[in-house]
Amino acid sequence: MAITLEDLPIRDDLRGQSPYGAPQKHVRVQLNVNENTHPVPEDVAEDIVAAIRQALTTVNRYPDREFTELRESLAGYLGHGLGAESIWAANGSNEVIQQLLQAFGGPGRSVLGFPPTYSMHSIIASGTGSRWIAAERDAEFRISPETAVAAVQQHRPDLVFLCGPNNPTGTPLDLATIEAVYDATDGIVMVDEAYAEFMPAGQPTALTLLPGRPRLVVSRTMSKAFAFAGARVGYLAADPAVIDALRLVRLPYHLSALTQAAAVAALRHAPEMLRMVDDIRGQRDRMVTELRAMGYQPHETWSNFVLFGGVADPRAAFESLLERDVIVRDLGIPNHLRVSAGTTEETTAFLDAMRAVAAEQP
């Protein structure tokens, strides 16, 4: 008989848990994990290759443990008067968040979040032995300052996770909510801004709240707007003292020399790497308009994806789209599916397939 996980002397608190499991399928139109569906421009890719080639000549040595050049590049990209001492990076923002919980969460400590939200927040909480507490949202997935403060006062968590724009709903996050949560807790407040670049132009982000708030942490990623998901580069901005805390838990040399070189080269081309953001926002808005015209109920989104309700049987609709070579995400939210904005052609393919599904599932 084959051994299963349950036969192993695994930690009791991991028994019965499920891993992160967005399906990875070879489908023509992949709109299920909120990637940027536009590839890195050819001239940028060539510059990145040249940087990696150069880095390879010294790859017999360990990389810069402090990834100073990358932190300087990220600080320059973020602006807001931030210096390299306020920036930290890791292999995707998932790892950044994990390091934050290793330092500030852990056994005997709790993390408060507001589902439906990014599933890895609770999975990283459990992986680090932190207790996950789920609080309620208001109507339309919003979180008012009052609702957030009431949850903080009730549960007294060690960390509060906010996500703006929120995945999987796309919901904007009010700065007033972040400020109110910060004032209501002595713990760390982490704002996950993975989708910040897709917000309407000119909207202030949580970065504007950092001065004078040493317990506020803002995480970002190059995976989405920057079209760099496969390279695995996430980062955060916070008080330099928070960065000191992360140095206690990171593995030495966690960012490879190749990753550092690739990210620095990509950041040199930030405007070009971000060129597709407007186009993606346009395709997202087109999805919202056309889904509404089909009778579905798309929710307000400031992100590169759309959560829509009115799907009679999400599982069947997911399968039916898959048969048409389109993959979206069924997150288990009753009567809802989530779809990432694609290129013009991919968006057209999704909308055409969705019209066929609507005809099957009136």
Cβ at position 305, least distance to ligand PMP in Å: 9
Phi-psi domain of 103 (left: phi exceeds 0; alpha: psi -120 through 50; beta: other):
alpha
Instruction: Using the minimum distance from each CB to ligand PMP, give the nearer residue, 94 or 357.
Output: 94
Place of tokens 């609507």: 358
- Rounded to the nearest whole angstrom, what is the least distance from the CB of residue 194 to ligand PMP in the complex? 4
Nearer to ligand PMP, 242 or 357 (CB): 242
Name residue 291's amino acid: L
Amino acid at 320: S
Q: How far is the CB of 7 from ligand PMP (least distance, A)?
A: 31
User: In whole angstroms, how close is the CB of 171 to ligand PMP at the nearest point?
Assistant: 12
- Which member of 122, 223, 340, 347 binds ligand PMP (CB under 6 A)? 223
User: What is 302-356 written as a DSSP string?
Assistant: SSSEEEEE--S-HHHHHHHHHHTTEE-B--S-TT-EEEE---HHHHHHHHHHHHH
Position among 34, 130, 171, 283 found at the interface with ligand PMP (CB under 6 A): 34
Of 104, 132, 106, the closest CA to residue 118 belongs to 132
Among 37, 130, 185, 221, binds ligand PMP (CB under 6 A): 221
Binding residues among 236-275 for ligand PMP as defined by CB under 6 A: none
User: Which of 318, 312, 320, 325 is closest to 362 using CA atoms?
Assistant: 312
Determine how β-strand 305-309 pairs with β-strand 297-298: antiparallel
How near is the Cβ of 167 to ligand PMP at its closest, in Å?
A: 4
Contact predicate 188/104, CB 8 Å: yes
Residue 163 sits in the site that holds ligand PMP (CB under 6 A): yes
Of 100 and 353, CB closest to ligand PMP? 100
For residue 60, give every residue at least 6 positions away whose Cβ sits within 8 Å of its Cβ, in sequence order, or none: none
Q: Of 48, 23, 49, 109, nearest to 264 (Cα)?
A: 48
167 binds ligand PMP (CB under 6 A): yes
Number of residues located near ligand PMP, criterion CB under 6 A: 13
Tell me the per-residue interface mask from 72 to 111 with ligand PMP, x by CB under 6 A, - otherwise: --------------------xxx-----------------
How far apart are alpha carbons 279 and 277 in whole angstroms?
A: 5
Shortest gap between Cβ of 93 and ligand PMP (angstroms)?
3
**Is residue 115 a contact residue for ligand PMP (CB under 6 A)?**
no
Please enumerate in sequence order all residues whose Cβ is within 8 A of that of 263, keeping only pairs 6 or more positions apart, or say none: 70, 73, 74, 89, 222, 228, 231, 233
Instruction: State the nearest-atom distance from the C-beta of 98 to ligand PMP, in Å.
Output: 10
Q: Applying CB under 6 A, which residues contact ligand PMP? A: 34, 92-94, 118, 163, 167, 192, 194, 221, 223, 229, 234
